[in-house]
């Protein structure tokens, strides 16, 4: 069996649009009847559920933003009574109250199916031993992968994140073949294994499903090389269900489960929808959820969509790698910069580890940034001057590619915090 759900994964564009249209009509009616929040918004726009006929009418619907979720915390956007909920996840959020992710039994089953589709596409099979090192708990990563693995019927080892030495020991003892965690935690595991003298490439480990944070193609190759695996990608967000929104296939293309989460790309300043291929803010409408089906939710993730004839046979729309979140975008000397662009450049240098952070502060009225990174352990024996010269070469390359002048400092070995989950790339020292 090549796909988990061939019917949906390989649907013709026309059938998919019909399916999406029917689901959109149903969802709009569902929230209109149950949520004063959406009824008010739709009434204000003069839109009745009956006006929504095809998926193209989505443009008539209001947007939903993170603050709407905060203002309606914890269950103001939940369309079913508490007794119908079987699970509540939450995203940590940087400030204040978390974002809640409630599920009915039906929602949970759909989530499990979306995750099974993803893991199946990436080669997970019933005979795999899968080590799940995503955070277990309110974070959707741990349990999302758990549900997908359970559907497929592989053997799951729910380690959760952290205790890296033990992760490596279990990998050896249990014969782990698949690893689920964030890409930066995968690198932390790879580094620790190297320090312990364990060659991960000689273990049965053969694939990974990594996500929950931006990472570049260069980073993927580095992980593949150091672990001797295929490094696949998972994309998702608590507000839509968690992981399972998008997944990379055998051709490393990230397909979106567009029969569940309908994607649009909009211009973040005008909110006008943008055509395929153009970069903008990713917006999702839940088409099948019951507990919290959000309409036109602005993710703040910056990317573009494509229709591709993919060799995996899936017709599901393809999403380019997430460049970053609009919140993480820095404006340096008038140029928009995302940490992932800096990552790509650092990774061009074979002398460097994929370990870096960006320190932002103010120079007068302007933002200034500094890149701090670590070099490969063997570089530290070559003296201070060699390291300074390496920093200068990276700075020159950043200048040539991104067009900004920023200092690059090579920090001492071990100075950058090792990630066990989502890495913190930007250290903001700006005072308001
Ligand atoms: O990170 C869900 C998830 C868990 C996805 C495990 C994949 C694997 P949140 O904590 O709500 O949910 O964070 C969602 O993380 O809007 C993106 O900014 C970022 N993100 C998630 N996956 C990717 C990815 C989970 N593959 C936010 N590439 C999203 C880039 C990602 N960014």
Do 338 and 251 belong to one domain?
no
Q: What is the C-alpha to C-alpha distance for residues 349 and 24, in angstroms, rounded to an integer?
A: 47
CB contact at 8 A, 101 and 132: no
- Whole-number Å distance, alpha carbon 380 to ligand 1 midpoint, is 34
Strands (DSSP E) contained in 117-249 are: 129-132, 155-157, 178-181, 207-211, 230-237, 242-248
Mapping DSSP to helix (H, G, I), strand (E, B) and coil, where does residue 186 land?
helix
If asked whether residues 166 and 227 sit together in one domain, one would say: yes
391 and 337 in a common domain:
yes
354 three-state secondary structure: strand
If asked whether residues 255 and 141 sit together in one domain, one would say yes
Report the alpha-carbon angle 201-205-208, nearest 5.
110
* Residues 354, 62: Cα–Cα separation, whole Å: 40
- For the chain, what is the domain count? 2
How far is the CA of 397 from the CAs of 373, 383, 429, in angstroms? 14, 22, 25
Q: Which of these three, 326, 350, 379, is where a domain ends?
A: 326
Q: Measured in angstroms, how far is the CA atom of residue 140 from the centroid of ligand 1?
A: 9
| Cβ-based burial of 108 (10 A; exposed 0-12, middle 13-18, buried ≥19) | middle
Find tokens 């998008």 and name the residue. 246
| Ligand 1: centre distance to CA 322 (Å) | 10
Distance of CA 426 to the CA centre of its chain: 17
* Tally of helices (H runs) and strands (E runs) in the chain: 11, 21
> 426: buried, middle or exposed (CB in 10 Å: 19+, 13-18, 0-12)?
middle
Where among 326, 354, 371 does a domain terminate?
326
From 268, 294, 326, give the residue that closes a domain. Answer: 326
CATH (domain of 110): 3.40.50.12780
Mutate to test the pocket of ligand 1, among 89, 179, 211 (most ligand atoms within 8 A of CB): 211
Tell me, in angstroms, the distance from the centre of ligand 1 to residue 257's CA: 15
Are residues 334 and 322 both part of a single domain?
no
Q: Are residues 5 and 49 in the same domain?
A: yes
CATH number of the domain encompassing residue 361: 3.30.300.30
Return the DSSP state at 277.
Answer: T
Provide the 3-class DSSP secondary structure of residue 2. coil
Domain of 400? Answer: 330-428
265 and 335 co-located in one domain: no
Do 123 and 81 lie in a common domain?
Answer: yes
115 lies in the same domain as 43: yes
For residue 372 the two structure tokens come to: 């701090």
Rounded Cα distance between 242 and 139, Å, is: 8
Q: Which of 88, 11, 83, 24 is nearest to 50 (CA)?
A: 24
Distance CA 403, CA 398 (A): 7
pLDDT in tens, the chain (432 residues): 999 999 999 999 999 999 999 999 999 999 999 999 999 999 999 999 999 999 999 999 999 999 999 999 999 999 999 999 999 999 976 667 899 999 999 999 999 999 999 999 999 999 999 999 999 999 999 999 999 999 999 999 999 999 999 999 999 999 999 999 999 999 999 999 999 999 999 999 999 999 999 999 999 999 999 999 999 999 999 999 999 999 999 999 999 999 999 999 999 999 999 999 999 999 999 999 999 999 999 999 999 999 999 999 999 999 999 999 988 899 898 899 999 999 999 999 999 999 999 999 988 888 899 999 999 999 999 999 999 999 999 999 999 999 999 999 999 999 999 999 999 999 999 875
Residues 292, 244, single domain; the answer is yes
Please indicate, yes or no, whether residues 191 and 152 belong to a single structural domain of this protein: yes
- pTM of the entire predicted model: 0.97
Residues 270 and 390 in one domain: no
């Amino acid at each position: 069996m090549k796909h988990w759900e061939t019917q949906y994964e390989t649907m013709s564009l026309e059938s998919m649009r019909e399916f999406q249209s029917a689901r959109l009509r149903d969802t709009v009616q569902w929230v209109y009847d149950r949520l004063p929040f959406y009824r008010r918004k739709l009434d204000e726009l003069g839109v009745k559920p009956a006006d929504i006929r095809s998926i193209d009418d989505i443009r008539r619907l209001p947007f939903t933003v993170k603050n709407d979720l905060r203002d309606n915390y914890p269950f103001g956007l939940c369309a079913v009574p508490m007794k119908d909920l079987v699970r509540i996840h939450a995203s940590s959020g940087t400030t204040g109250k978390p974002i809640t992710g409630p599920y009915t039994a039906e929602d949970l089953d759909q989530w499990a199916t979306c995750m099974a589709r993803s893991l199946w596409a990436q080669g997970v099979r019933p005979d795999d031993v899968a080590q799940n090192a995503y955070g277990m708990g309110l974070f959707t990563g741990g349990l999302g992968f758990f549900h997908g693995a359970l559907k497929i019927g592989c053997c799951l080892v729910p380690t959760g994140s952290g205790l890296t030495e033990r992760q490596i020991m279990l990998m050896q003892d249990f014969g782990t073949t698949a690893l689920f965690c964030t890409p930066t935690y995968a690198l932390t595991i790879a580094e620790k294994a190297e320090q312990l003298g364990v060659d991960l490439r000689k273990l049965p480990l053969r694939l990974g499903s990594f996500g929950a944070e931006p990472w570049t193609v260069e980073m993927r190759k580095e992980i593949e090389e150091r672990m001797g695996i295929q490094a696949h990608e998972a994309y998702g967000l608590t507000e839509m269900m968690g992981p399972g929104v998008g997944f990379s296939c055998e051709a490393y293309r990230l397909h979106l489960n567009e029969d569940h989460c309908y994607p649009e790309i909009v211009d973040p300043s005008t909110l006008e929808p943008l055509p395929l291929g153009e970069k903008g803010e990713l917006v999702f409408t839940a088409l099948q959820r019951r507990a919290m089906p959000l309409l036109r939710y602005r993710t703040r993730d910056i990317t573009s969509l494509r229709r591709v004839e993919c060799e995996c046979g899936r017709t599901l729309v393809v999403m380019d790698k997430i460049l970053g979140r609009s919140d993480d975008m820095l404006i340096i000397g008038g140029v928009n910069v995302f940490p992932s662009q800096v990552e790509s450049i650092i990774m061009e240098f074979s002398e460097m580890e994929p370990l870096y952070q960006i320190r932002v502060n103010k120079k007068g009225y302007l933002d200034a940034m500094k890149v701090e990174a670590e070099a490969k352990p063997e570089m530290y024996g070559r003296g201070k001057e060699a390291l300074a010269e390496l920093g200068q070469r990276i700075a020159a390359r950043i200048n040539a590619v991104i067009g900004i002048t920023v200092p690059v400092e090579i920090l001492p070995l071990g100075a950058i915090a090792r990630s066990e989950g989502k890495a913190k790339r930007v250290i903001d020292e700006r005072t308001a």
